[in-house]
């Protein structure tokens, strides 16, 4: 598969990943190389990764706990201390080997340690391959509020080796699929339809689709790296989805949702808002609802849950001047940004989701 050139770096695939990385390591004169893993990727991905890289100097492995609840400044502090204790300097390289939590948090740690060191993302989950590792967004949660602290700063390369997906649990695969479906919804109806027709998520079928998703996202990022306009489209389903995800993280009564599960609910609800305000047809709305409900099921939100989730909407990063701004669909494949909707429609959107 062809490499994809991005803003200041490239995204490489399969065997090409290791060739590019080995050349880069050989020619870059790094003083130290750190590999950030979590407790899962340490076991399931690191051995394969190490077997493929050739480097003279010793590598330092830093492990963090796995899971969204560890995507915090406390974890960053621990890693900054480890880097410091292990003599990290400004010519250090950090390789983030993991899912979206590791690539987001590791990118932020690298962007801020000694005012910024080089980093490479090696995504090991479907979600990190098609979304988190690409496009320079780095950061952590503030309490349970998603991605409130961070910077946009690009990695030196992204290496996508889909064989890491062989050990990924099924629910994590489904979580990543939600971001791929989102790419179709905002940019390409044909891609959406092909994903809807997928019978199962096997790696050989997914390889080309992963490449397509990254290409779709990367084109948006190249045109609008700092999210001044078009890039906001990538937040379709995320305004309500992030609020739902944060609420569930903090609430013992509701099961913690994976990111893709939360934005699947968000995409149904924001589909409803799109129908009411931006001209999305009823036929397409029903198709969106049926697709996400079939794959992700449904969460029962009480009235109390709804009002708490509504309160969390004010933390969305697209908001300004106290107004909640949505990315909404005109039709499948076409998305508008900065749409403001009446509050009562949010209540209706929850009802539509539950129906």
Residues that bind ligand GLY (CB under 6 A): 131, 135, 137, 231, 234
Q: Report the residue number, 214 or 278, with the smaller CB distance to ligand GLY.
A: 214
Q: Report the residue number, 62 or 336, with the smaller CB distance to ligand GLY.
A: 336
Minimum CB–partner distance for residue 135 and ligand GLY (Å): 4
Cα(230)–Cα(122) distance, integer angstroms? 26
Q: Interior CA angle at 36 toward 32 and 37, to 5°?
A: 145
Minimum CB–partner distance for residue 304 and ligand GLY (Å): 29
- Taking CB atoms within 8 Å and a gap of at least 24, the contacts of 196-204 are 196/287, 196/291, 201/126, 201/170, 201/173, 201/174, 201/177, 203/162, 203/163, 203/165, 203/166
Q: Report the residue number, 12 or 231, with the smaller CB distance to ligand GLY.
A: 231
DSSP 129: I
Q: Report the residue number, 137 or 211, with the smaller CB distance to ligand GLY.
A: 137
Closest CA to 306 of 352, 264, 247, 262: 247
What are residue 34's phi and psi, to 5 degrees? -110, 140
Minimum CB–partner distance for residue 233 and ligand GLY (Å): 9
- Chain-centroid distance of CA 75 in Å reads 19
- The interaxial angle of helices 170-187 and 203-223, nearest 10 deg, is 50
Closest CA to 61 of 77, 39, 76: 39
Q: Report the residue number, 12 or 137, with the smaller CB distance to ligand GLY.
A: 137
Q: What 3 state SS string does 147-175 have?
A: EEEEEECCCCEEEECHHHHHHCCHHHHHH
Closest CA to 335 of 260, 211, 235, 256: 235
Minimum CB–partner distance for residue 187 and ligand GLY (Å): 13
DSSP 69: G
Cα(297)–Cα(35) distance, integer angstroms? 37
Q: Report the residue number, 108 or 301, with the smaller CB distance to ligand GLY.
A: 108
Minimum CB–partner distance for residue 182 and ligand GLY (Å): 9
Q: Report the residue number, 42 or 137, with the smaller CB distance to ligand GLY.
A: 137
Q: Report the residue number, 95 or 327, with the smaller CB distance to ligand GLY.
A: 327
Instruction: Name the residue with the smallest CB distance to ligand GLY.
Output: 234
Minimum CB–partner distance for residue 176 and ligand GLY (Å): 12
Minimum CB–partner distance for residue 121 and ligand GLY (Å): 12
Minimum CB–partner distance for residue 14 and ligand GLY (Å): 23
Classified as helix, coil or strand, 140 is: strand
Cα(136)–Cα(139) distance, integer angstroms? 10
């Amino acid at each position: 598969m062809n490499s994809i050139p991005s803003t200041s770096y490239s995204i490489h695939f399969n065997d090409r990943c290791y060739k590019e990385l080995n050349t880069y390591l050989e020619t870059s004169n790094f003083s130290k190389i750190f590999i950030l893993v979590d407790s899962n990727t340490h076991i399931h991905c690191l051995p394969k990764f190490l077997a493929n890289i050739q480097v003279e100097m010793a590598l330092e492995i830093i492990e963090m706990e796995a899971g969204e609840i560890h995507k915090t400044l406390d974890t960053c502090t621990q890693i900054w201390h480890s880097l410091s204790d292990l003599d990290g300097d400004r010519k250090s390289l950090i390789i983030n080997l993991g899912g979206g939590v590791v690539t987001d948090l590791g990118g932020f740690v690298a962007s801020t340690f000694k005012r910024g060191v080089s980093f490479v993302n090696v995504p090991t989950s479907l979600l990190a391959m098609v979304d988190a590792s690409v496009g320079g967004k780095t950061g952590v949660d503030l309490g349970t509020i998603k991605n409130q602290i961070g910077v946009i700063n690009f990695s030196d390369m992204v290496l996508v080796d889909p064989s890491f997906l062989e050990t990924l649990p099924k629910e994590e695969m489904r979580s990543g699929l939600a971001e791929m479906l989102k790419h179709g919804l905002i940019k390409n109806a044909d891609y959406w339809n092909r994903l809807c027709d997928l019978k199962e998520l096997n790696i050989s079928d997914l390889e080309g689709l992963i490449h397509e998703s990254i290409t779709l996202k990367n084109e948006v990022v190249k045109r609008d790296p700092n999210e001044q306009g078009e890039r906001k489209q990538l937040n379709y389903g995320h305004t309500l989805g992030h609020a739902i995800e944060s609420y569930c993280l903090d609430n013992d009564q509701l099961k913690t949702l994976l990111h893709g599960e939360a934005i699947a609910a968000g995409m149904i609800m924001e589909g409803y808002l799109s129908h009411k305000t931006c001209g999305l047809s009823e036929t397409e709305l029903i198709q969106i609802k049926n697709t996400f409900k079939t794959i992700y099921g449904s969460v029962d939100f009480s009235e109390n849950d709804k009002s708490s989730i509504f309160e969390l909407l004010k933390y969305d990063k697209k908001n300004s001047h106290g107004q909640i701004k949505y990315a909404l669909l005109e039709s499948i494949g076409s998305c508008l940004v900065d749409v403001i909707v009446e509050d009562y429609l949010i209540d209706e959107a929850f009802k539509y989701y539950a129906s």
